[in-house]
A and B are shown apart, each in its own frame.
Chain A
Amino acid sequence: MNERLRRFLFPSITPAFLIRVVLVAVCAYVFFGFVCTPFVVRGRSMVPTYHDGAFDFLWKPRFLFSGPERGDVVAISLAGDSVVYLKRVVALGGDTVSFKEGVLYVDGKAVDEPYVRGPCHWNLRPRKVEPGRVYVVGDNRSMPMEQHDFGQVSVRRIVGSPVW
C-alpha cells in the first residue's frame, strides 16, 4: 500500500486531525439537520411525481427571500417539521380556485397541469384563497377527493421544497 493511501485510511490521531473531524461533524449536523434535511415520502398523494418510499432532501432556504409560486412543490409543517405535508401550490392569495370534472380552474381559467396523470373527476365549488395563504393540492388526483388532504394553508407553514 502506498504511503499516501495508508495515511488516508489510517491517519495519525493528532490534535489537528481531531479538530478536522469535529468541524466536519458539526458542519454536517448543521447542514443536514437545519438546511438540507433528508426525508422519505410516505403516502400516495403526490404520485406520480413522488412515490411512496422515495428518498429526497428538503431544501429549507428555498423560500427565505421569495414566496412560493404556482406549480412549486412545497413542504408544509405541522406541529414541527419532523413530519410535513408535501403538496403542490396551485393558487396564491386572492385567487379563486375550483375543480370541474377534474380540471383545475384558477380565476375562471382552466390550468394545464402536465404533472397530473390518470383520470380525475373532482368537483369543487369556487373558493377564494385568503391573503397570506396559498392553495395546495397533491398531484395524485386519481384518488377520491374525500381521501385527499388539500386546501389553503398559511404561507408561514411552508418550510422548504424538495431538492429534486
Chain B
Amino acid sequence: MVTWKRLGAFLAVILAAWAIYYFFPSRTRQVKRRFKAISEWVDKTGPEGNLAMAREASEAADFFAPQCTWDAQSYDLNGSFTPRDAARYYFAGRERFSSLSLKFYDVGVGFPEKYKADVTATARITGTTREGEKVSETHEVQCSLRKTDGTWRLTHVTVVQVLQR
C-alpha cells in the first residue's frame, strides 16, 4: 500500500513538473516557440486554396511588429516592412512553390531588456518550385523580437553573409 502511495506521489510530482514546464514556459522557451510557429506558418506540403493561403497570410501580424526592418542583401530585402508587406511576400512565395519548408537550428536567445530578445539561428529553407526545380538555402539569421500584448513579435531580421564574395 505504501509502495502504491509512493508511486502515486512520484507520478504526481512528475505531472506537476511537466505542467509547470508546459504551461508556464520560460522567456527563452516562449521565444523558441515563436520560431517553431513561424516554421509551421511557412511550411507547405501540397496544393493550397487561395482562401486558405489568404487566411494564413493574415497571421503575419502575429509574427511581425507593425514595423519590422529587414537587412537581407542576398534577397534584395532591405528596409522597413509592415505585416501587410510580409503577407504579400508570403503569398507570392507560396504561389511560386509547390512545397516549402523552413526549419531553424541552433536557436540562441538573449535578453538585453525585459521585453526584448535577440536571437541567433540557422535558417534552412527547402522547397520545390511549381516548375519542379529544387531549392535549398541555408543562412545564419540574427533577429530582434519585442513582446507586445503578451506576444513576441519580430522587429528586426538580418540575414548574415557568412561567405563574402
- A-side residues, CB < 8 A to B, are 42-43, 76, 78-83, 85, 87, 124, 127, 136, 149-153, 157
Contact = CB atoms under 8 A, between A and B. Distances in A.
Contacts of B124: 83
Which of B138, B140, B141, B165 has the most A CB atoms < 10 Å from its CB?
Answer: B165
Given A42-B136, A85-B138, A79 B108 contact: yes
Contacts of B136: 42-43
Interface of B: 105-108, 120-122, 124, 136, 138-141, 160-165
Contacts of A85: 138, 162-163
A149 B159 CA distance: 14
Given A42-B136, A43-B136, A85-B138, A79 B163 contact: no
Contacts of B122: 78-80, 82-83
A127 B163 contact: no
Contact of B163 (A42, A82, A136): A136
B136 to A, nearest CB: 5
Contacts, number: 56
A151 B163 contact: yes
By DSSP majority rule, is chain B's interface helix, strand, loop, or mixed?
strand
Given A79-B108, A80-B108, A152 B163 contact: yes
Which of A42, A78, A82, A149 has the most B CB atoms < 10 Å from its CB?
Answer: A78
Nearest to B161: A151
Contacts of A157: 162
Which of A81, A136, A149, A153 has the most B CB atoms < 10 Å from its CB?
Answer: A149
A153 B162 contact: yes
Given A42-B136, A43-B136, A82 B105 contact: yes
